[in-house]
Amino acid sequence: MNGPEFFMQHAGYRLLPPPLKTADAVADADTLFGTALPLNTGKTLRLSSCWMVVTPAWTATSFKALPEAGFRHDMERRTAIHDALKAGQPCVLLALGKRTMTARDLFVTYDPRAARLCSEGEVKTFDATQEKTWTS
């Protein structure tokens, strides 16, 4: 499964309004990243200036999505990344800035020795097993 498919299946389709869904994960991810989404504050904002950790079991984020999305807001970024990588399941690690992200920026991490932190136009690959917290 590629990055856009994984992201949309486990997180994106919970945010994308039904009239905008096309079942094409790449097109839908691009649409999602450019769409103003309703927040739990009553305002709207596109996905920006936040982080997300997407796994098959859960999604943690600093984005103030509506409760219906089912995202976790009870974790700090570092803890969410650590827990996702330790679980041994594939995950997508996102660091969204001000610029609009695109589907081509999404990569799935399958191995913590080559964890991929995705941001706009850039992917940083790092070995999470070398972190001090990995063995604790």
Q: What does the domain layout of the chain look like in residue ranges?
A: 3-135
CB count in 10 Å sphere of residue 122 = 10
- How many other CB atoms are found less than 10 A from the CB of residue 10? 19
For the chain, residues with pLDDT lower than 50 are: none
Tokens for 84, please give them: 């996702």
Nearest to 55 by CA among 81, 77, 34: 81
91: its two tokens: 């995950």
Predicted local confidence at residue 85, as pLDDT = 96
Residue 136 confidence (pLDDT): 61
How far apart CA 86 and CA 49 sit, in angstroms, is: 25
Token duo for residue 43: 């305002």
β-sheet bridge partners, residue 51? 95
Residue 128 pLDDT: 94
> What global pTM score does this model have?
0.94
Nearest to 50 by CA among 8, 98, 12: 98
